[in-house]
Structure 1
Amino acid sequence: MKKVLVVLAALGAFSGLVQAQEKIQVLSTQELVNVCKLPASPESRSFCVGYATSVYDTYLVTRHPQRAKPFICVKQPAPQRDVVIGDFVKWAGENQQFADKPAAGVFLGFLADRFPCGKK
C-alpha cells in the first residue's frame, strides 16, 4: 500500500510539473478584434459581447474601493454595448502596437481611455 501511495504521489508531482510548463494561450487583441468586427455572425457577436462584458464585470467586482481608485467610470445611461465594441475595434485598428498583447488588459486600457474618471 505504501508503494502505491509513493507511486501516485510521484505521478501527481510529475503531472503538476508538466502542467506548470505548458504555455497557456490567451486571446490576443487582434484575435478579439477579428471576432468583434462587423458584420459578425451570431456566434462571433455572442462571444465578443460575452468577453467584453466579463472583462468589465471582473474589473468591477475585483477593484476594492478603499484601496484602489477607479480608473474606468461609465456615466449613466451607458452607451450600447455594440457602440462600445465598435469603438474598441476602431481604437485597436489605430493602435496596432497592442495587436499581440493580451486582449483583456488592452480592453481595460481602452475602457480607461474611453471612460476616464474625472477628478473629484
Structure 2
Amino acid sequence: MKKVLVVLAILGAFSGLAQAQQKIQVLSTQELVNECKLPASPESRSFCIGYTTAIYDTYLATRHPQRAKPFICVKQPAPKRDDVIADFVKFAGANPELADKPAAGTVLGFLAMRFPCGRK
C-alpha cells in the first residue's frame, strides 16, 4: 500500500511540474486589435470592451497609491469608450512592432500616453 502511495505521489509531482512548465498563451496586441476593429460583431465588441475595461480596472485596483505613483490619469468627464478604443486601434496600427507583444501591456502603455498624469 505504501508503494502505491509513493508512486501516486511521484506521478502527481511530475504532473504538477508538467503543468507548471506549460506556456500560458496571452492575447497579443494584434489579436486584441482584430477584436476591437470596427465594424465589430456584437461578440467581438463585447470581448473588446470587457478586456480593455478589465485591464484598466486591474490597474486601478492593484496600484498602491503610497508605493507607486499613478501613470494613467483620466480626467472627467471621460471620453467615450468607443473613441478611446478607436484611438487604441490606430495607435497599434501605427506601431506594428507591438503586434506580437502582450495586449495588456500595450493597452497600459497606450493609456499612459493618452491620459498622462500631470506633475504635482
Equivalent position amino acid for 1:48 in 2: C
Equivalent position amino acid for 1:14 in 2: F
Aligned pairs for 1:16-95 (under 5 A) are 16-95=16-95
* 1:9 Cα offset (Å): 1.1
- TM score, norm. by length of structure 2: 0.96
Moved more, 11-20 or 46-55: 11-20
* 1:20 Cα offset (Å): 1.8
Moved more, 10-19 or 109-118: 10-19
Structure 1: distance between partners of 2:25 and 2:63: 25
* 1:4 Cα offset (Å): 2.9
Structure 1: distance between partners of 2:42 and 2:16: 38
* Aligned counterpart, 1:103: 103
| Structure 1: unaligned runs, 5 residues or longer | none
Structure 2: distance between partners of 1:14 and 1:4: 15
Structure 2: distance between partners of 1:59 and 1:5: 45
Q: How large is the RMSD of aligned CA atoms in angstroms?
A: 0.8
Moved over 4 A (4+): none
Q: Calculate percent identity across the aligned residue pairs.
A: 82
| Structure 2: unaligned runs, 5 residues or longer | none
